Chains A and B, each alone.
Chain A
């Protein structure tokens, strides 16, 4: 609780991106990307310094010297520092990747889209850092709004009607979520007279109001995270945006509200959560994996496939919740499961960002992203093909990726607690991921369709950045070796052990089967039996993504959660 001397670093990490944003706006024109670059370097140094400090002890800073509950405190603990580090890597990579795409065109003093992109990139970063370190529920609300305001315009940078519509949907749905969050914040203040997370965590007791608050806030944040069935806005928004913007939205923006759910469940009101609610959240995650993956397999356009794969991967991020519920204490407890969840977020942030980057490069080179006509792309863009493959492997959880480590920890927890059903979901999810990766790779490696089309040149820097990010995700598992993380040693003892190899083979094989079963094919070929299920799932997804259905799901989820919270304690 007491302040730490190096705490000022957290303030810097939050404010530097915003200061950079404002100076970049002032500089304007060709100077905007330059100011952004300088800012990025400064923040990278700051975050590195924070990482070094947090390895010893969490940082705390009381703004203006006013202690909570009157003032606002910022805190950087392990999870916050870890997330900040991941975001830093991804932002830096996206900035390198987008250098060419969002340069001011020749002959113009200033162009709209590049200016907006660089300012918004910095704003997303500042908001995320704020969300990671803020210790006050209302400051977090402001951070959430900042993140939404920075994320939404990225969707419609090109100004086409379809992307504008997607952006408006995203904004309105996210605003609905913000209101629910704010409502919860207000009610909590009405009961406890403070908004400080740490003070609240000491006093919060399950009661009608706190249960309502948890249900409302979680529902609101899920709307912003786009967990199935609240993914109304995600596929069109993430698929329609420019590649670099999609990478920001998919890799970074949704992690903000997700992290806030983690804070809420683990730090603010761990004791209010019940077994049933944790299972509900996990079940929605499982549904997201199944539906998101099947619909992804049926897409005909690469960017939509990747967007739906994000829907599925968001589901993965929620599998840790049921496994982190400590039934004997009746509360959420962090430990290895929480670490696994954070690792999953980290590996998804890196892998998905690089996957969108790769998709963008294919689009740029070929002039389209129709999966069926990707043939020959591997010969034209070998590096990017490799990137896509590696990102897919990283998402699948192949040794030594971060997802592998996370999966291993979660599997161990599931075995420990006898919740075998999560084992099935975890392995099945990996198989689905393998499915759509294989599906795309097969097309990429196919021989070009005649006649050979003109292939546009793409930036080598962008290609290499995407590759580096995919590589980072694939090697993330080695963080287990870092002593500060506190993971049990020997998690990746022998990556080539027969059991490991067998699992990978089984998962990949399963993936191939799924891809064969669900994917769309030319009308001349007889569709597989499973395609029937695929069409059904696709229609179901389309139905859920209508506004009335999605908003009803939102409130139905809140109601179900409130009911589970109430009945769980009565039993």
Chain B
């Protein structure tokens, strides 16, 4: 088993762990953390694939590496946006879970 395969398998486990967290945690902040774990797992998987494609004197496939850098930045902006939304929710209410009050008996109308 090569190092790249090992990393690929580890990435699969990370993704599995993150997916568990995404489903099981009720707290949005923990979901955001889990999202980041899944994200890094996907990136690590890509890194393993890039390492497999090492040739022409490069340590890995540079196209995949470049894509990853873009992906990491995009994932960060998603995290920042979700966190900002969560904090804004916190500033207007105490209840920060995603579970909604039953919609059909909703008292306050939309704007």
List chain A positions with a Cβ less than 8 A from chain B. 70, 138, 141-142, 145, 148-149, 152, 156, 158-169, 171-172, 175-176, 178-179, 182-183, 186-187, 189-190, 193, 235-236, 239-242, 298-301, 303-304, 363, 368-370, 538, 542, 545-548, 551-552, 555
Contact = CB atoms under 8 A, between A and B. Distances in A.
Nearest to A235: B103
B6 interface: no
A176 B31 CA distance: 10
A545 B102 CA distance: 11
Interface residues of B, number: 47
15 contacts: A70-B63, A148-B78, A160-B92, A162-B106, A164-B92, A167-B85, A168-B28, A168-B89, A171-B78, A172-B82, A172-B98, A179-B35, A241-B110, A300-B104, A555-B19
Contacts of B78: 145, 148-149, 171, 175, 178
Nearest to A554: B23
A299 B109 CA distance: 13
B60 interface: no
B2 interface: no
A551 B52 CA distance: 33
Nearest to B77: A149
A165 B98 contact: yes
A242 B109 CA distance: 11
B45 A547 contact: no
Contacts of A156: 85, 88
B32 to A, nearest CB: 8
A303 B110 contact: yes
Contacts of A363: 109-110
Nearest to B94: A161
Given A162-B101, A171-B82, A369-B110, 18 more contacts: A142-B74, A159-B92, A160-B92, A161-B92, A163-B110, A164-B89, A165-B98, A168-B86, A172-B98, A176-B35, A178-B78, A179-B39, A186-B45, A186-B46, A242-B110, A542-B103, A547-B26, A548-B24
A545 B99 CA distance: 9
Contact of A542 (B24, B39, B102): B102
Given A176-B22, A186-B49, A369 B109 contact: yes
Contact of A242 (B98, B99, B106, B111): B111
A175 B15 contact: no
